[in-house]
Structure 1
């Protein structure tokens, strides 16, 4: 799976894999196992439980798919699957399913993807006929278990892939319910790109004497350029679409994923960028599977170069030609930033990660840098003059390419010779360059994007006055804070009448909203928890649905007041 030349030792032949699997790997061009594959495959084939941590793009799928196939019984006439793989998104379910099918073709493996958005009747029919491996999203797997159409009685192995993502998306309770149905003695495997405390807690609860594997990111030499160049630009909210368009013009990426917070933001930004001449496709949970497949097909075929997506919809995507990722808003958690950056810079290729930071989000970016150890350089948005110079560079490069193709220029010689009788050859060349340059699109009508200077955090007590935390105006200070920041674009802030005094936590609010509405964890915006109340941002289009759902349910055993925030 790497570009390393084949050697006589150290290849897949040294791993405990049956000849059919080795033949499939050879046919697919795999020569050397990645570190996670080399360390994980032997204990998994032995039947050990395993807890693996490795960054996105390190070959985790083959690390568990090959042992699953290796351990399949010779006789597989039964209907019940031998292995269950839980993944966070339908896209990842399809990718894992395809990989298992390719590796196990010579074994005649029967593998089925099970996810929402697909007719459940078709899945039930396939399960009734019998499958060997089920690759499922937690919600749909739980649905089948409730209908008794998915049996785990014959299960030999269960795998949780991208476990941290499933937790972030609010699947914790679903996963717990599924794991309760897994029979005793079944091998349990957990893979995660990050290892927050909740993953450690789950591992202690569900795994038995697991093998622990941690694949660190490869250290780079001090004088070696990083594979992923990470930059941030502080931009006022109103100027973000123009700033993004300008950065894309300057970078000229091959393929880009732009991460947005809400579906509405995805649709609006897709329309704006297409109007600027980019070839953008939208991807979010409000689209049908056919629409999502069509968008991905256009990106992979090169007929589109931009994918504007919500975090949830883009999870698990593996796009080989991807060169850039853009955080249109600062991610709410360092783990999200790590996953997004992991989309590029794979297999030794270089990539670029860009983050657009509103002034109020500057501290969030600092927190991400401290948590991840990444270096994110804050840079200035190119000015109109910079863009003019960049366009001239692109024009010169285009002309240079044409000059190298001399055979194709002869048919224009008569034009130049005719004009040279009337004008100086330099003037003819200048006019031709002007035409070529203007054909790439003018920038003279663009406005400058204002430069933002981020103020440093004031010393405690200096600028707060008596209304701060330590003064006597506690209620006034709280009201001032609530009034000082408007909800993010496309979001509505909800007031929930329970806070720290009721032991309310962010995960409680996320779990209640995702469990009672169509929203996922990534659709939810900023969460603030005070002593007696909480404030949660949700997409404008879903605000009424969330209010109605929460009013008819309980949070932490109580039914609090829920309404639109009036401040």
Structure 2
């Protein structure tokens, strides 16, 4: 059975209460500011609550974590010693994020959740597992390590979730996943989420899921509904720097009026406070506000006494602000139709508008999905630098002075200029006046650079079903070459090494340099500052069932290069 949430067949549930969730979960969701389920949540939660296996095709940011976390927590009875749910994820960062989400949603249930991944003290993980845990969120390599140690008992498991399954397979975790699933009960519920469904995923589904419900999110053809009058752009920004990046972009764009869309009420309130601290006249609008309060906010926006509206989709429904010039997606929308609906608020009646989207690196796929569906390119730019901001503010000062020269009555100020020119050169007087005007308009408010985030690398070209190996080259600057005591004879491929390193350390795939694989050993370039972390992490794990020697590469004389 296949459901396509993007075609409008998304059930009748419009609130989390309609989904039949227990009061503790509804209370937690309300406290977090979640107002309504996303399409993937409306589709996935009911069948998961009924115990069905599920295959969901959905990208990061569509709300899939809550789609599988809430059903797990709904059926939770935190009394046992061993976990009842196991969530497998490709990276340590995602393990932490998913674990934190379970903690937030299950706070009123006393849910015991632990993330286990490489690069973290294993002693702490052992203690947590020994004390008793309900939900384990793990990278495959570390999960298999604990199973081998006998410290992760899966006999009481009721649900297994494979999150971002395509990423896990691309990182070389296929054999680890198979080995983990072989240690789980036959009568478990299996849930698999993947942004793409290549043949390898289909094979995994056929082997391990029983008559699964299939859900696809974001596959409608809606390109004709977008408007050419809207200038669309996106910026890749790390989560920690998004508030600063938004402020920087607003400083550059200087919108007459803008709506910034957020996912939750909590995010709306926090961002409103941050932007007001930067000197903007920002107003919050979300479902937790009364109608009278909402009317006051809209009155201030229409009257021009507020220039920024920070809102959730629910609260902004039906709004029509005539002088709106900019729409900002603080995160990539969870569904393409949401993106289209939002940017359609500008560019109306022949007016031009601007649509800006802030995307975290893991949300880049979602931007590509929106481009495919809308049939329009969304250029990804770099967040303006401090130099860009200074130039823009200077341009605004120049424009303000020009407008004053053209329109204002300046005669009353002539006596000031004439008295100063008796002592100073006329150009110096003008420069001092410009300096005062510039400083009064904001001056240099923002002096910290926002770190640039690179685009995720394209998937490496595959040849004959195998990933092509990288071309050998000398170590790049700032890189250290590590020796791994396993090679081609052990069946080692580049993705096995990348998957092991990224799964057990703090590195990502794009951080890893050249890989050379010989018959009996492999050489891998990693950033110099991360070399020790990788060596320690890899000594605690296995690659293709082997625990290899890992050390810095030695030169011809057996010395470790400095």
Distance in 2 separating the partners of 1:563 and 1:148: 33
Distance in 1 separating the partners of 2:46 and 2:200: 27
Out of 537-546 and 156-165, give the one that drifted further.
537-546
User: Which residue pairs with 2:65 in the alignment?
Assistant: 61
Distance in 1 separating the partners of 2:490 and 2:110: 55
Matched, 1:523 2:514: no
Pair 390,66 (structure 1): closer, same or farther in 2 beyond 3 Å = same
Out of 499-508 and 423-432, give the one that drifted further.
499-508
1:80-479 to 2 correspondences below 5 Å: 80-216=82-218, 219-220=222-223, 221-223=225-227, 229=233, 252-253=248-249, 344-346=331-333, 350-351=356-357, 375=377, 390-395=392-397, 421-423=419-421, 428=429, 430-434=431-435, 440=444
Deviation, structure 1 residue 207: 1.6
User: Which residue pairs with 1:26 in the alignment?
Assistant: 30
CA displacement, residues 423-449 of structure 1 (integer Å, 9 cap, x when unaligned)? 4999745423246669759xxxxxxxx
Pair 84,487 (structure 1): closer, same or farther in 2 beyond 3 Å = same
Deviation, structure 1 residue 213: 1.0
Pair 189,396 (structure 1): closer, same or farther in 2 beyond 3 Å = farther
Count of residue correspondences: 398
Distance in 2 separating the partners of 1:209 and 1:89: 28
In 2, are the aligned partners of 1:54 and 1:216 still within 8 Å (CA)?
Answer: yes
Distance in 2 separating the partners of 1:180 and 1:501: 26
Counterpart secondary structure, 1:421: helix
Pair 381,159 (structure 1): closer, same or farther in 2 beyond 3 Å = closer
Pair 538,135 (structure 1): closer, same or farther in 2 beyond 3 Å = closer
CA displacement, residues 53-98 of structure 1 (integer Å, 9 cap, x when unaligned)? 112211111100111012224xx42201111112233333333223
In 2, are the aligned partners of 1:80 and 1:132 still within 8 Å (CA)?
Answer: yes
Distance in 1 separating the partners of 2:211 and 2:167: 24
Pair 535,222 (structure 1): closer, same or farther in 2 beyond 3 Å = farther
In 1, are the aligned partners of 2:332 and 2:359 still within 8 Å (CA)?
Answer: no
Distance in 2 separating the partners of 1:505 and 1:430: 65
Pair 65,523 (structure 1): closer, same or farther in 2 beyond 3 Å = same
In 2, are the aligned partners of 1:86 and 1:136 still within 8 Å (CA)?
Answer: yes
Counterpart secondary structure, 1:189: strand
Q: Choose the corresponding residue for 1:38, options 32, 35, 42.
A: 42
Query: Unaligned regions of 5+ residues in structure 1, if any?
Result: 1-7, 233-247, 256-299, 306-320, 322-341, 356-365, 401-414, 442-480
User: Which residue pairs with 1:507 in the alignment?
Assistant: 495
State TM-score, norm by structure 2: 0.53
State TM-score, norm by structure 1: 0.52
CA displacement, residues 456-504 of structure 1 (integer Å, 9 cap, x when unaligned)? xxxxxxxxxxxxxxxxxxxxxxxxx989x987654589999x9999999
In 1, are the aligned partners of 2:91 and 2:503 still within 8 Å (CA)?
Answer: no
Counterpart secondary structure, 2:420: coil
CA displacement, residues 163-186 of structure 1 (integer Å, 9 cap, x when unaligned)? 233334443333232222111111
CA displacement, residues 532-561 of structure 1 (integer Å, 9 cap, x when unaligned)? x99976556789999xx9xxx99999x9xx
Matched, 1:10 2:14: yes
Deviation, structure 1 residue 351: 1.7
Deviation, structure 1 residue 194: 2.9
Distance in 2 separating the partners of 1:211 and 1:376: 33
In 2, are the aligned partners of 1:48 and 1:187 still within 8 Å (CA)?
Answer: yes
Distance in 2 separating the partners of 1:90 and 1:554: 17
Deviation, structure 1 residue 146: 2.3
Deviation, structure 1 residue 229: 1.7
Distance in 1 separating the partners of 2:505 and 2:117: 18
Pair 432,537 (structure 1): closer, same or farther in 2 beyond 3 Å = same
Distance in 1 separating the partners of 2:491 and 2:74: 48
Deviation, structure 1 residue 155: 0.7
Deviation, structure 1 residue 41: 0.5
Distance in 2 separating the partners of 1:197 and 1:68: 28
Deviation, structure 1 residue 301: 8.5
In 1, are the aligned partners of 2:82 and 2:154 still within 8 Å (CA)?
Answer: yes
Distance in 1 separating the partners of 2:384 and 2:114: 49
In 1, are the aligned partners of 2:480 and 2:526 still within 8 Å (CA)?
Answer: yes
Q: Answer 1 or 2: higher relative contact order, Cα 8 Å, separation at least 6.
A: 2
In 2, are the aligned partners of 1:168 and 1:521 still within 8 Å (CA)?
Answer: no
Deviation, structure 1 residue 345: 2.8
CA displacement, residues 370-423 of structure 1 (integer Å, 9 cap, x when unaligned)? 99977365999999x9998635225458999xxxxxxxxxxxxxx998666324
